[in-house]
Structure 1
Amino acid sequence: MCADTPDYKDTLFLPETDFPMRAGLPQREPEWLARWERLGVYEALREKARASGNRKPFILHDGPPYANGHLHIGHALNKTIKDIIVRSHQMMGFDSRYVPGWDCHGLPIEWKIEEQYRAKGLDKDEVDIVDFRQECRKFAEGWIDVQREEFKRLGVTGTWNDPYLTMDFHAEAVIAEEFMKFLMNGALYQGSKPVMWSPVEKTALAEAEVEYHDHTSHQIWVRFKPVDGALDGASVVIWTTTPWTIPQNRAVAYNPSITYGLYRVTEAEEKATVTVGETILLADALAEGVMAAAKVTGFEKLRDVPADELSGLVLAHPFRGVENGNGEWDYDVPMLPGDHVTDDAGTGFVHTAPSHGDDDYQLGLKFKLPMTYNVEPDGTYRADLPIFGGEAIIVQDGKDGPANVSVIKNLAWAGALLAKGKLKHSYPHSWRSKAPVIFRNTPQWFAAIDKVLDDGMGQYGDTIRQRALKSIEDLVKFTPVSGRNRLHSMMESRPDWVLSRQRAWGVPLTCFVKKGAKPTDPDFLLKDAQVNTRIRLAFEEEGADVWYVKGFKERVLKDLHDPEAYDQVFDILDVWFDSGSTHAFVLRDREDGVPDGIADVYMEGTDQHRGWFHSSMLQGCGTKGRAPYRNVVTHGFTLDEKGMKMSKSIGNTIVPQEVIDQYGADILRLWVALSDYTQDQRIGPEILKGTADSYRRLRNTLRFMLGALGAYDPAKAVARDAMPELEQLMLHRLAELDAQVRKSYAAFDFQGVFQSLFAFATTDLSAFYFDIRKDALYCDPADSPVRLASLTVMDALFHRLTTWLAPILPFTMEDVWLSRFPGDDESVHLQDFPDTPESWLDPELAARAQKVRAVRRVVTGALEVERRNKTIGASLEAAPTVYLSPELAQIVTNPDTFSTLCITSGITLTQGEAPEGAFAAEDVPGVGVVFHHAEGEKCQRCWKILPDVGTHKHPGTCARCDAALG
């Protein structure tokens, strides 16, 4: 610039905005939370819906977390997904309601109180049960307050001032009422069958309360001798990994379709328990493996043993006649056919203890085998059991007790032990105490899922199973679709629902049984609607604790039944029945619920196919006749960056609060949106750095837009038809995105939403549209048609990008919105997605623009070569010649417009074949570029190099800039 040439910088329309480049999210997010609370944004949206009268309710029903600890990364993932669903549906025009809730009963909380007791050397059983329950209630209340604040810090919207709690009096009353529907419709029965039992927690467990871990078990091969010398004295050999069940053996099962053989030992190691010449009966497919385990080095098959020879065979229990056995095992053990017996592992014969396994139990039912009651609630043998009395299977710290070893030793002394070893395998453990569980026969309360129900709700089937399968097949949509098959297969094969727990903290089984009656007697259960009503009203007024107050039985049976004729049941309900009932006291009963009590969405982790989705389905089908939800959305588990499960002992856990403290909650939310949550997700320091980088790139795009719009006057908006094609193309892209964003949000596909918007913001806008239009925005006269059209498009972009992204990045989009509209009552979260006219769609223009952009890509490629060669420093120093095929010459016709697109000072368009040496791109045939320097002087205002620079009123300017200066 010459010394006498003015500095025109102050005459440019450069972007102006207070929106900072650095987000400062950890410090600023709490300010927005406080603002939303002051504005009452959630409540304002409900009022907006009531006032409009035409917004359809949309309800995501919250699966309640347990109130017993700080949030982990899985909580953050779960609640963020829910929040994005709720916010996006609100902004798509629904009355989108979200009532957060907590599961307050059950073992997770009771176990914490018991731990406190043990630490103080106190005995829980010596404390009044109502006092103990009150301690559990206070514990839950404390953690609810903690978790509520942690959830709110994530930016999750909802009725935080009025959540639902399963321990609220109304909730407890409804849970009891829902249970009594099972009582009245015939689903409830008391049965004695083996259930998964935790000796540490002294209660039955449901499948959903069990997790599988590797466990090393004893494995033994045991001889059963036929009585009366059958099979020429050969032994039938069984294999088991639960030696402690041998004292409860009542039969040995075989499969008639398996081929069996009689085998004789011809050679054995010195330490073997077998003797040469001994004969044993085995499945042919397993004989070699059994012999190896028994240290047999030589054997021969004597003959086949057909199934009819096994039918009716009677064996002696291995402890028959044992010293100090007191005749306990001096009974016959029948051999019985069973389809569950295979020749995949073991011996081809299955030791059967009907009290300790479902297959065993079913076989016992079929053949009327006696049940045994040898194992106490704490996992010890009954005190008066000969030899083993009082020995523990599992001790209170969750480790193996002496029972297994004791049984093995006594089998060896009795001459029944063929072989022994150890086996590492997957085994069920309680997910609370982490201790192994056992199968144990106890009297429990069940909901029959194949019984025809007397409730008049047979539209989708007469039994719970029928209704559940019909709901899965016809009434519920699953995301991902694999969830459908998973839940369907579980419902097809699941047994009756074990409803009872032998604990203290929960809703009791509110029923009475007739003294002296058997569970099979028709009058065993008291069924009286008036009694049920009294119970419900008492719970509404005083909570479920009242059930344990002395005299309550007399109070509710008074004037209706003789209290002395009935016993009160004191088991508590499976906590999954509590959460499975939430549809009734949340969706049905609350003002912000829906009359039919059916949610639009249940969304939880994939483990809830056997948990909350499952129990809600069973409960709903038993009391409503169908599933209480229309959509089931599931997310995977959260792993570290290497794909390993997170563990405190490994030190690879990610704590949500630490991420928030470092980056802000929006970065954590963006990580969720960037993940395919339907699969397992990975998170760690490097992944979070990448997420933060994506955030910064998006933020810069939004900042540029805010700067350009600082002086935008809506009164000067340009109609679409009056816009240049580039602006019309941007409106077309917005119309395309509008449909895509709405479709993806409706399908709960946030990854699809963000990827589309991020690509648009960084590629279509920052790297293309904004780059091209900077010149017109900065340098054109204030009211130039191109500048006004670009600002009009910018305004449309602003309203759509901020609202489309608000469900994912609520803090940042609030910041963006308030930077432009700083009113005290303003919030982006009070907006809907703007309606986008279909008339903006122009497929022909888009197709033409795609070809123009391809030609542009060849030109920019040619200029990049010159830039690398340092022939030019900036593209405005170029004025290339572009050779086009006849087809492309019909599309790229205006050199001035195309020069603007290529950000050059000039361009020459020529139809014909490019000369040798011209720059070309293989993927864009029909285009050649020959580089030329732009001719003329550099305009000191816009930096274009043009021949007319210096010939105008204002020194050192081109015609356009001279006009802009006036």
Structure 2
Amino acid sequence: MTDTPDKRDYRDTVFLPKTDFPMKAGLPQKEPGILARWQDMGLYERLREARAGAEKFILHDGPPYANGDMHIGHALNHVLKDTVVRTQSLLGKDAPYVPGWDCHGLPIEWKVEELYRKKKLDKKEVPAKEFRAECREYAQQWVDVQREQLKRLGINGRWDKPYLTMRPKAEGAIVAELHKFAETGQLYRGAKPVMWSPVEETALADAEVEYADLTDSPQIDVAFEIVESPIAELVGAHAVIWTTTPWTIPVNQALAYGPDIEYRIIEVKDAGQISASYLIATELLHHFIDRAGIIEMNESIDGEIGRQVILGSTINGSDLAGTIVQHPMHHLGGFYAKPRPMLAGDFVTTDSGTGIVHMSPDHGEDDFDLCKANGIEPVFAVMGDGRYRDDWLWLGGEDDRRRSVINKPFNAPDGPICNDLREAGALLSASADYHHSYPHSWRSKAKVIYRCTPQWFIAIDEHLAHLPALTPAEQRWENEGGDDTIDEQATAGSPTLREVALQAIADTRFVPEKGRNRLRSMVESRPDWLISRQRAWGVPIALFVHRETGELLVDADVNRRIQQAIAADTVDAWEELRAGEFLGSDRKPDDYEMVKDILDVWFDSGSTHAFVLESDEWPELQSPADLYLEGSDQHRGWFQSSLLESCGTRGRAPYKAVLTHGFTMDPKGMKMSKSLGNTVDPLKVMEQYGADIIRLWALSVDYTEDHRIGDEILKGVGDTYRKLRNTFRYMLGALVGFDHAREAVETSAMPELERYMLHRLSQLDANLRRAIDDFDFNEYVRALAEFTNEDLSAFFFDIRKDRLYCDAPDGAERRAYRTVLDILFQALIRYTAPVLVFTAEEVWSTRFPDRDSIHLEKLHALPSDWADEALAARFDALREMRETVMEAIEPLRREKTIRSGLEADVVVPENVVPEGFSDADLADLFITASVTRGQGSDVKVTRTSDHKCGRCWRLLPEVAEDGDLCARCDDVVAEMDAA
């Protein structure tokens, strides 16, 4: 301000915004106090009361494992869930959130075993109940830790009563879901090859297996002598197989050929003499010759001394039917003396190998199916720890060979298997340079194998003769307008579980849509659901099997007693001492075997809809859920197990919609790994920046794809946050003392600029509501930030600060501006609340210290007459013109000809000015000294010769000299002086 001896200082007459709301956020220090306030007031319960009776929206929480600190993936996942729930609540819906944890299974059991190993204890020496108690204690410890970490993120939920799969009632309910499958005939015990971890000694589900590239795997060619064939010249020749798993040769029972593949007999000459003949697919012949180190020669040309090959007859694969070979180790007798048939296999290809595949039904799915179809059964030679049985004829029981079959010393080209084959003259090539992707346990990181063991399965291609009746919770949903999928299925005949699941996928909404194809393709191609595990910590497959007949006992009364016992006494109730209690007086415990396997944890979590959404413990919930929300890996995991469990027991999906997010990468787009040192710890980010910054980051990225985080990315998020915060800071200061009842101006009496801003707000409101419906929070945050930055800070606030600062307090245009500011504040604070949960509360309590939390508020419907497309078209055109004027002013400002647009006289082309704006309007909107219209097509800018008002700083013709007052300011100052 001008301050000279003969001029008055008018600074104390200007109405500058005043607020105690600080520019510096200090989130790490403030957020814990806000959390404590929410806890003291019982925010979650208050919100339930406020939304009682409203339309429900149920997001069902997928249970994370309770075995470690929250990582950045947890943070993103739970921020998304919390935002879904908060935005639905913002729309006025009753959107409860009950968090949960998966507490059983190998991840926790493995961690407890690690603690044992550090103490040099063997789990097998500890009583099962004691071991399970330690698993339970370990899980509860991490539930408590993760709960506090998630609360710190601002996640609002029923933290005092989460669901845990290890709670006794939950365990009893999981067993009840298992019994439903047993009682409807969908459950069976069968011997099939499954993914098996020799280190963890248990079967693994697909979701528990990860693949890693190996460059040093063995690959060998082995000769099986043909002893019988309808093709006479084949007798005495050798069928050659190629394999990358030498350890399966000791369990070989057959060979497979492709019926449509062409084969060729080749003769190998050693030092000019024919030494052997081999049968190999023609297309793969040269690859075999290279591996075996043979010199190829034309059959009509004499070759040099060495190993050479002569090409013989070609044979159609279909003609190999009836051909018999003998095992290379047939001289051992017993199992190996039995002839091995050659069988037609549609799965045999010429992509690699020799076109002939050795069959071990114990260790491969194709092997098992083909052999079983031809009456060949598995022999269970490999034990749970990956060693051959002690009594196995070849390599069993020898101390120096009692190593896991997949370990390199045992399985290598110079290991015992290859050495024995070499000694038998059957090993034609062996190397350790094969490059391929191999399955590993995602927990132990150890290699896994296919191993045939008796396991429990849920059949997905058996016809469901009777789908179960609706539960009361499901019936309630039906009565409230749900679809009639279940009734239609019940009358459609006998669909299979696979068919019911595929129909449910078709009926479900997927966000993004590509998730539908991903889940559908997995369900279309998946095998029967393997649900058994050979571990200690989990829900037992609480069933009885008759010892003599092998029949599964299906008795509803027995099952009910089992369920009630486990619900009362935990899984520890499933013990031999209580068999008689479960079976009842009309059956003898000695006649029945109690199944000792436990359930796959995916069955546990797949059943959560049953014991959470349908439970009286959480009456605020209902089934099916409106939304399941997890990472894209859960198409193979929770989404699918929940779908199969619900379709098998209820005939429909447990969800109406599925939202999938991608994975968080480092700034370079690389997967995060502790070994690479590129992980981002959300706990440290909160310590440095605050939880609201993590939330804003999570909602700013395109989370439907893989996305990135890092220091520079977080700094950019911080810039966005500061702009939003400063927008609220300005509004808080500008609205000090605003009394809506006394000062508010009717919309019809407002200037056009204010009405235009109400139109823009109505557009924003529609965009944000659409984004909520689409779960598109990237668009939600973008639209919100763009509105506050471009429509408000750079346009509306900039133009109207003169009215705010310098008009009379009760001036009509100033009151109109503050009325719109109040409307904007009331809307923007609600829009922002689901995103910046702590900052929104701080802003709200600053303006309304005596009112309840912002998170109890609802989004109000805006008046329809605020939308004015004709007005908007004029102002949109004006804003484009304004940008042109500002660009024309900038060179003069850089040259210091003028210091700001207030010193500029502007001439604009008359033909580009939108209709309805006077020159004075344009000067106000462009924030210039004057605007006039002229001919031509360019904007012209010169420095004004007018003088500056000593109070508002505008340069106007009416100001006689710098420091004098313009007419407006003179009136305002006079009124203030008189007061």
TM bucket by the smaller chain? over 0.9
Q: Quick one: which amino acid aligns to residue 685 of structure 1?
A: D
Q: CA deviation at 1:4?
A: 2.2
User: After superposition, what is the alpha-carbon deviation per residue over 1:757-805, rounded to whole angstroms, capped at 9, x for unaligned?
Assistant: 1111111111111111111111111122221111111111111111111
User: After superposition, what is the alpha-carbon deviation per residue over 1:667-717, rounded to whole angstroms, capped at 9, x for unaligned?
Assistant: 111110111111111111111111112211221122111111112220211
Q: Quick one: which amino acid aligns to residue 243 of structure 1?
A: P
Match of 1:490 among 522, 531, 544: 522
Instruction: Write the mapping of 1:632-647 to structure 2, written as runs, cut at 5 A.
Output: 632-647=658-673
**Structure 1 residues 401 and 841: alpha-carbon distance in aligned structure 2, compared to 1, 3 A threshold:** farther
Instruction: Write the mapping of 1:742-891 to structure 2, written as runs, cut at 5 A.
Output: 742-823=769-850, 825-885=851-911, 888-889=912-913, 891=915
Q: 1:445 is matched with which residue?
A: 456
Residues 602 and 641 in structure 2, CA contact (< 8 A), matched pair in contact too? yes
1:933 equivalent to 2:936? Answer no
Q: 1:469 is matched with which residue?
A: 502
Q: CA deviation at 1:834?
A: 2.2
The TM-score with structure 2 as length reference comes to 0.92
Instruction: Write the mapping of 1:247-396 to structure 2, written as runs, cut at 5 A.
Output: 247-265=250-268, 278-298=276-296, 299-321=309-331, 325-390=332-397
Residues 224 and 238 in structure 2, CA contact (< 8 A), matched pair in contact too? yes
**Structure 1 residues 890 and 387: alpha-carbon distance in aligned structure 2, compared to 1, 3 A threshold:** closer
Q: Quick one: which amino acid aligns to residue 21 of structure 1?
A: M
Q: 2:574 is matched with which residue?
A: 547
Residues 897 and 943 in structure 2, CA contact (< 8 A), matched pair in contact too? no
Q: CA deviation at 1:345?
A: 1.1
Q: CA deviation at 1:307?
A: 2.4
The farther-off stretch of 406-415 and 156-165 is: 406-415
Instruction: Write the mapping of 1:550-565 to structure 2, written as runs, cut at 5 A.
Output: 550-565=576-591
Q: CA deviation at 1:582?
A: 0.3
Q: 2:964 is matched with which residue?
A: 956
Residues 405 and 411 in structure 2, CA contact (< 8 A), matched pair in contact too? no
Q: 1:218 is matched with which residue?
A: 218
Q: 2:693 is matched with which residue?
A: 667
Question: What is the CA–CA distance in structure 2 between the aligned matches of 1:721 and 1:62, rounded to whole Å?
Answer: 47
1:169 equivalent to 2:176? Answer no
Q: CA deviation at 1:869?
A: 2.0
Q: CA deviation at 1:376?
A: 0.5
User: After superposition, what is the alpha-carbon deviation per residue over 1:58-81, rounded to whole angstroms, capped at 9, x for unaligned?
Assistant: 111111111111111111111111
User: After superposition, what is the alpha-carbon deviation per residue over 1:803-845, rounded to whole angstroms, capped at 9, x for unaligned?
Assistant: 111111101111111111112x521111112221221111111
User: After superposition, what is the alpha-carbon deviation per residue over 1:106-135, rounded to whole angstroms, capped at 9, x for unaligned?
Assistant: 011111111121222222112211111111
**Structure 1 residues 92 and 890: alpha-carbon distance in aligned structure 2, compared to 1, 3 A threshold:** closer
Residues 646 and 653 in structure 1, CA contact (< 8 A), matched pair in contact too? yes
Q: 1:121 is matched with which residue?
A: 120
Question: What is the CA–CA distance in structure 2 between the aligned matches of 1:426 and 1:64, rounded to whole Å?
Answer: 30
Gapped regions of structure 1 (runs ≥ 5) = 269-273, 519-523, 915-926
Gapped regions of structure 2 (runs ≥ 5) = 297-308, 469-485
Question: What is the CA–CA distance in structure 1 between the aligned matches of 2:11 and 2:563, rounded to whole Å?
Answer: 78
Q: 1:712 is matched with which residue?
A: 738
Residues 388 and 403 in structure 1, CA contact (< 8 A), matched pair in contact too? no
Question: What is the CA–CA distance in structure 2 between the aligned matches of 1:82 and 1:266, rounded to whole Å?
Answer: 71
The count of residues paired between Structure 1 and Structure 2 equals 929
Residues 92 and 833 in structure 1, CA contact (< 8 A), matched pair in contact too? yes
Q: 2:675 is matched with which residue?
A: 649
Question: What is the CA–CA distance in structure 2 between the aligned matches of 1:454 and 1:563, rounded to whole Å?
Answer: 31
Q: CA deviation at 1:591?
A: 4.8
Residues 878 and 913 in structure 2, CA contact (< 8 A), matched pair in contact too? no
Q: 1:722 is matched with which residue?
A: 749
Q: CA deviation at 1:884?
A: 2.2
Question: What is the CA–CA distance in structure 1 between the aligned matches of 2:198 and 2:233, rounded to whole Å?
Answer: 40
Residues 190 and 444 in structure 1, CA contact (< 8 A), matched pair in contact too? yes
Match of 1:700 among 704, 720, 726: 726
Question: What is the CA–CA distance in structure 2 between the aligned matches of 1:780 and 1:278, rounded to whole Å?
Answer: 107
Instruction: Write the mapping of 1:134-213 to structure 2, written as runs, cut at 5 A.
Output: 134-213=133-212
Q: CA deviation at 1:397?
A: 13
Question: What is the CA–CA distance in structure 1 between the aligned matches of 2:593 and 2:251, rounded to whole Å?
Answer: 30
The farther-off stretch of 291-300 and 622-631 is: 291-300
Q: 1:899 is matched with which residue?
A: 923
Q: CA deviation at 1:399?
A: 5.0
Q: CA deviation at 1:590?
A: 3.7
1:589 equivalent to 2:588? Answer no
SS in 1 for 2:67: coil
Residues 225 and 237 in structure 2, CA contact (< 8 A), matched pair in contact too? yes
Q: Quick one: which amino acid aligns to residue 469 of structure 1?
A: L
Q: Quick one: which amino acid aligns to residue 217 of structure 1?
A: S
Q: Quick one: which amino acid aligns to residue 40 of structure 2?
A: R
Quote the RMSD (CA, aligned, Å).
Answer: 1.9
Question: What is the CA–CA distance in structure 1 between the aligned matches of 2:419 and 2:531, rounded to whole Å?
Answer: 38
Q: 1:240 is matched with which residue?
A: 243
Question: What is the CA–CA distance in structure 2 between the aligned matches of 1:650 and 1:709, rounded to whole Å?
Answer: 51
**Structure 1 residues 360 and 398: alpha-carbon distance in aligned structure 2, compared to 1, 3 A threshold:** closer
Question: What is the CA–CA distance in structure 2 between the aligned matches of 1:892 and 1:319, rounded to whole Å?
Answer: 100
Question: What is the CA–CA distance in structure 2 between the aligned matches of 1:267 and 1:364, rounded to whole Å?
Answer: 36
Residues 202 and 378 in structure 1, CA contact (< 8 A), matched pair in contact too? yes
**Structure 1 residues 591 and 792: alpha-carbon distance in aligned structure 2, compared to 1, 3 A threshold:** farther
Question: What is the CA–CA distance in structure 1 between the aligned matches of 2:790 and 2:295, rounded to whole Å?
Answer: 73
Residues 234 and 279 in structure 1, CA contact (< 8 A), matched pair in contact too? yes
Match of 2:34 among 10, 32, 35: 32
**Structure 1 residues 757 and 407: alpha-carbon distance in aligned structure 2, compared to 1, 3 A threshold:** same
SS in 2 for 1:388: coil
Q: CA deviation at 1:370?
A: 2.4
Question: What is the CA–CA distance in structure 2 between the aligned matches of 1:751 and 1:94, rounded to whole Å?
Answer: 22
Question: What is the CA–CA distance in structure 1 between the aligned matches of 2:938 and 2:838, rounded to whole Å?
Answer: 48
Question: What is the CA–CA distance in structure 2 between the aligned matches of 1:183 and 1:816, rounded to whole Å?
Answer: 57
**Structure 1 residues 135 and 230: alpha-carbon distance in aligned structure 2, compared to 1, 3 A threshold:** farther
SS in 2 for 1:880: strand
Instruction: Write the mapping of 1:62-73 to structure 2, written as runs, cut at 5 A.
Output: 62-73=61-72
**Structure 1 residues 16 and 779: alpha-carbon distance in aligned structure 2, compared to 1, 3 A threshold:** same
The farther-off stretch of 718-727 and 160-169 is: 718-727
Q: CA deviation at 1:456?
A: 3.1
Q: Quick one: which amino acid aligns to residue 336 of structure 1?
A: L
**Structure 1 residues 712 and 241: alpha-carbon distance in aligned structure 2, compared to 1, 3 A threshold:** same
Residues 168 and 570 in structure 2, CA contact (< 8 A), matched pair in contact too? yes
Question: What is the CA–CA distance in structure 1 between the aligned matches of 2:812 and 2:621, rounded to whole Å?
Answer: 55
SS in 2 for 1:533: helix
1:478 equivalent to 2:515? Answer no
Q: Quick one: which amino acid aligns to residue 36 of structure 1?
A: W
Q: CA deviation at 1:596?
A: 5.7
Question: What is the CA–CA distance in structure 2 between the aligned matches of 1:812 and 1:300, rounded to whole Å?
Answer: 82
Q: 2:953 is matched with which residue?
A: 943
What is the aligned-residue identity percentage? 51
Question: What is the CA–CA distance in structure 1 between the aligned matches of 2:318 and 2:210, rounded to whole Å?
Answer: 41
Q: 1:418 is matched with which residue?
A: 428
The TM-score with structure 1 as length reference comes to 0.94
Q: Quick one: which amino acid aligns to residue 17 of structure 1?
A: T
SS in 2 for 1:433: coil
